[in-house]
Chain A
Amino acid sequence: MPLTMTKAGDTVTIRKITGKDEVRQHLAELGFVVGETVTVVNEISGNLILQVKEARIALDKTLAMRIIVA
């Protein structure tokens, strides 16, 4: 499921990141890579605050849609 379907407090594992552009590479540099676990810290109308590799990253809805987790 896309990351947008999770709720605050969930811890999930990244299965796939769709799309092929510079943003995906940037996400990878921030720690969003397949196999990594992320915890949803907070959510405001689809925009998320996530914990990944000990950092807090804010993502908007369109980006969160592209991260497929399980």
Chain B
Amino acid sequence: MAIKIALAGNPNCGKTTLFNSLTGSNQYVGNWPGVTVEKKEGKLKGHDDVVIQDLPGIYSLSPYTLEEVVARGYLVNEKPDAILNIIDGTNIERNLYLTTQLIELGIPVVMAVNMIDLVRKNGDKIDLKKLSNELGCEAVEISALKNEGSEKAAELAVAAAKKGKAGELPHVFTGSVEHAIAHIEESIQGKVDGRFLRWYAVKLFERDDKVQAELNLNKELLDHIDAHITDCEKEMDDDAESIITNQRYAYINGVVDKAVKKKPRTENLTVSDKVDQFVTNRILALPIFALIMWLMYAIAMGTSVADGGIGIGTFATDWTNDVLFGEIVPNALGGLLESIGVAGWLYGLIMDGIVAGVGAVLGFVPQMLVLFFLLSILEDVGYMARVAFIMDRIFRRFGLSGKSFIPILVGTGCGVPGVMASRTIENERDRRMTIMTTCFIPCGAKMPIIGLIAGALFGGSSWVATSAYFIGFAAIIISGIILKKTKLFAGDPAPFVMELPAYHVPAWGNVLRATWERGWSFIKRAGTVILAATIILWFLQGFGFENGAFTMVEDQDNSILAIVASAISWIFIPQGFGNWRATVASISGLIAKENVVGTFGVLYHYADELSDNGDEIWPEVAASFTALSAYSFMIFNLLCAPCFAAMGAIKREMNNGKWTAIAIGYMCLFAYCASLVVYQIGGLITGEVSFNIFTIVAIAIIAFTIYLLFRPNKYEGVNEVSFDSKKAVASK
């Protein structure tokens, strides 16, 4: 039997760094069943029989966040053999709060006091022996970042697991509280696993509804327990949950007084605080943020280094597109296929279908990796938490929280990791809303569409791209306000409360790992969903009825895709692009947005590889669109359902079929209405379209949108009431 050791600790205590250094590359990353909280486990280096389970960062075992629910469920149900509790030594009081709860579980605990180098630098002293004696479990000092003491901590945990016996419980609670808990213990004895007796008793004392439901106690017993709790509450003149919290802190204070010697701080502000006075300054915060963003995008997506810019990402992507998938792969693979003499159709499928299709998608990988690398650095040093804080006051005005900003930021690179980044938002409503709106922002793959339209019809004017971002943001803002007033998203955004970790030098191992995990999730899909979709699309546009027989078509206009698209292209008449080519291009955009440009290339019979913005086919595009219909086409493609990969991500993060359908349906509807309004009203002004039935539809849409935006929110304040009523039910 393998030994299971759970890693538990507060967020930002260095848990990830320790986990990475203990397990190396020997990791398995997945999801906790039923929720989208990341689950990581790995084998301890050099010990094949020891599995380390990384639990999400938590402040306590009360179920406030999804992470806490998951961690608590794992500890109680899976019963690991030992818990390695990582404690941030620079904030020992707050961290021990979780420790006192972990100890109550009756599982052997080893405390690893992390960031010991910083503790020493501050001139503080932690007496591990006293700490260990007080809490009844072993303690060891480590510095995960400098890989000091990590192995020793793991060995102690293994030894504790083998011994299998937890130390004696410390006397956390006193007086009538201890008295009441002891009574509860007595009444539930035999009904729960003996090891967990104290844990269940304390949770029952707190009137934890999850535990009450789990134990399924009869009413008589519950009333008996409640009588004890109520007596105690009366005596202490406080509610049960607060009584427990206060006694825990009081106990910890006592322990810290004995075991920790703090050197009086000569300076009140740390380096981190000084940085924060600039970075979160009320005047400078936004300019600094804008500058960092500009720099990040210039490096990832700006003018290539080859052309005198600082765009490392662009340089790498250009190389991948033009050299790797433009020459090396096609030449090598083409030569190979010819030499073994494959059939013409198979050659076509592999070269034109798969290599061109998947290659186009993989071409974005270098750019994306650079962007994710920079984002991971910002996350690791602690800047992202500040960004959420700075943006919160702005986002709150339209119903989103500051934490929604990070997914949108990541989404400018690629919607897939953008949607995945929404995981950090605790409140389910806020998270769903963020998932629904993140894909409105133009991602990297939508840039070629913008380039095509700007180049072909607007003389390459840069305002087209600027307006695309503006429209994306407007779509997010409008959606935020409208959705917040519907029953689905009723209630205020969850109050913003977030720990800001102290700034520190990035841990490169963590940064590279995070970059790779995000990039890999994209590459993996390029190899599966996108590959399959590419093959289907290749088939649909390569085969059809010609001369009365089903065959590989000479003229794309006869393909199945053309027939189907022609049949449904009337849908886009109100948007001004009701022709089959634009319809096919939009459909192919579902596979990957940059496909839109490539599809136009195929449909206009352009034989060679197109450049990124498709400048070879600008004349043809200009001929079949007007400036207005092209702009409306662009808006539709920017806002409608994202590519399959992003839809897959939405489905996984929503973890619910109905919500996935709502999200994608909403995006399509929004895109359809927005492009209709732009074409009809714009056309009326420029004289391109005359007054018709759709003009009325457009006016109706505008009027209805204004109504949705400005109607009073009848669900205002609903949030608070529901919280109270829930508690009231629980306490009865």
Question: Which A residues have a C-beta under 8 Å from some C-beta of B?
Answer: 20-23, 25-31, 33-34, 36, 39, 41-47, 49, 51-60, 62-63
Question: A20-B727, A29-B64, A56-B502 are contacts. A42–B276 as well, Cβ < 8 Å?
Answer: yes
Kindly state whether residue B327 has any CB partner on chain A within 8 Å.
no
In the complex, per-residue mask of B106-119: 1 if CB is within 8 Å of any chain A CB, else 0? 00000000000000
Residues from chain B with Cβ under 8 Å of A21 in the complex: 720, 723-724, 727
- Interface segment, B91-99, B405-413, B532-540, B627-635? B91-99
With A28-B242, A29-B64 as known contacts, state yes or no: A56 contacts B272, CB within 8 Å: yes
Residues from chain B with a CB closer than 8 A to the CB of A57 are: 497-500
Contact check, A30 vs B94: say whether CB atoms are below 8 A apart: yes
**Cβ-based interface call for B219 (8 A):** no
B392 touches A56 (CB 8 A): no
Residue in contact with B62 in the complex, picked from A25, A31, A53, CB distance below 8 Å: A25
Q: B94 to A22, Cβ gap below 8 A?
A: no
CA–CA, A43 to B234, complex, Å?
Answer: 38
**Once bound together, how far apart are the Cα atoms of A53 and B500, in whole Å?**
13
Flag if B393 contacts A47 (CB, 8 Å). Answer: yes
Q: Are A33 and B393 in contact (CB under 8 A)?
A: no
Q: How near does chain B come to A52, taking the closest CB pair, in angstroms?
A: 8
Residues of A near B59 (CB, < 8 A) are: 26, 29-30
Q: Is B385 in contact with chain A by the CB < 8 A criterion?
A: yes
Q: Which residue of B lies closest to A9 (CB)?
A: B268
In the complex formed, the residue of B with least CB distance to A26 is B64
Q: Which residues of B contact A (CB under 8 A)?
A: 59-60, 62, 64-65, 90-94, 97, 239, 241-242, 245-246, 249, 268-269, 272-273, 276-277, 280-282, 285, 385, 388-390, 392-393, 396, 492, 494-502, 720, 723-724, 727
Task: Name B63's closest neighbour in chain A (CB-CB).
Answer: A22
- List 24 A–B pairs whose Cβ atoms lie within 8 Å, in order of A's numbering: A20-B724, A21-B720, A22-B723, A25-B241, A28-B242, A29-B97, A30-B94, A30-B497, A44-B285, A44-B393, A46-B393, A49-B500, A53-B94, A54-B91, A54-B94, A55-B499, A56-B500, A56-B502, A58-B385, A58-B496, A60-B495, A60-B496, A60-B497, A62-B495
Contact across chains for A63 and B496 when beta carbons are under 8 A apart? yes
A55's closest neighbor in chain B, by CB?
B91
Given the complex of chains A and B, what is the CA–CA distance between A56 and B11 in angstroms? Answer: 12
Q: Given contacts A56-B500, A56-B502, is CB(A42)–CB(B281) below 8 Å? A: yes
Q: Are A41 and B273 in contact (CB under 8 A)?
A: yes
Rounded to whole Å, the gap between the CB of A50 and the closest CB of chain B is: 10
- New contact pairs (9) apart from A33-B246, A49-B280, A58-B496, CB-CB < 8 Å: A23-B64, A25-B241, A29-B60, A33-B245, A39-B268, A41-B273, A44-B390, A49-B276, A54-B90
* Residue of B269, B392, B723 touching A47 (CB-CB under 8 A): B392
Task: Tell me the minimal C-beta distance from B117 to chain A in angstroms.
Answer: 16
Question: Would A42 and B277 be within 8 Å (CB), given that A30-B94, A47-B393, A63-B497 are in contact?
Answer: yes
Q: What separation, in Å, do the CA atoms of A63 and B269 have in the docked complex?
A: 24
Are B500 and A43 closer than 8 Å at their CB atoms? no
Q: How far is the CA of A4 from the CA of B276 in the complex (A)?
A: 19
Q: Which residue of B lies closest to A32 (CB)?
A: B497
The smallest beta-carbon distance between B458 and chain A, in angstroms, is: 39
The listed residue (B62, B90, B280, B393) touching A29 by CB distance below 8 A is B62
* Interface residues of chain A: helix, strand, loop or mixed (majority): mixed
Chain A: minimal CB distance from B207 (Å):
11
Q: In whole angstroms, how far apart are the Cα atoms of A33 and B243 in the complex?
A: 11
A56 with B496, Cβ < 8 A, contacts A29-B64, A29-B97, A30-B59 known: no
A20–B60 alpha-carbon span in the complex (Å): 18
Measured between C-beta atoms, what is the minimum distance from A16 to chain B in Å?
11
Determine which of B94, B241, B281, B727 lies in contact with A55 in the assembled complex, contact meaning CB atoms within 8 Å: B94
- Cα distance, A62 to B60, chains bound together (Å): 23
Cα-based distance from A22 to B282 in the complex (angstroms): 30
- In the assembled complex, the Cα of A51 lies from the Cα of B65 at a distance in Å of 22
Cα–Cα, bound, A51→B11 (Å): 16
Chain A residues within an 8 Å CB radius of B502: 56
Q: How far is the CA of A23 from the CA of B668 in the complex (A)?
A: 36
Bound: A53/B393 CA distance, A: 25
What is the minimal beta-carbon distance from A24 to any residue of chain B, in angstroms? Answer: 8
Pick from A51, A55, A62 the residue with the most CB of B within 10 Å: A55
A42 and B497 alpha carbons, distance in the complex (Å): 15
Q: Which residues of B contact A36 (CB under 8 A)?
A: 249
| Nearest chain B CB to A12 CB, angstrom units | 14
CB contact under 8 A between A34 and B246, given known A21-B724, A60-B497 = yes
Say whether, besides A30-B59, A49-B389, A23 and B93 are in contact (CB < 8 Å).
no
A70 to B64: give the CA distance in the assembly, Å: 28
A42 CB to nearest chain B CB (Å) = 5
Q: Which residues of B contact A31 (CB under 8 A)?
A: 93-94, 97
Residue of A nearest to B722 (CB): A21
CB distance from B554 to the nearest CB of A (A): 64
Q: State in angstroms the CA–CA spacing of A53 and B90 once bound together.
A: 9
* Residues of B with C-beta under 8 A to A59: 495-497
B495 contacts which chain A residues (CB < 8 A)?
A: 23, 59-60, 62-63
Measured CA separation A34–B90 after assembly (Å): 22
Which among A25, A42, A51 is the interface contact of B64 at CB below 8 angstroms? A25
Task: Find chain A residues with CB under 8 A from B92 CB.
Answer: 54
The closest CB in chain A to the CB of B280 belongs to A42
Complex CA gap A59/B497 in Å reads 5
Give A45 to B93 CA distance when docked, in angstroms.
30
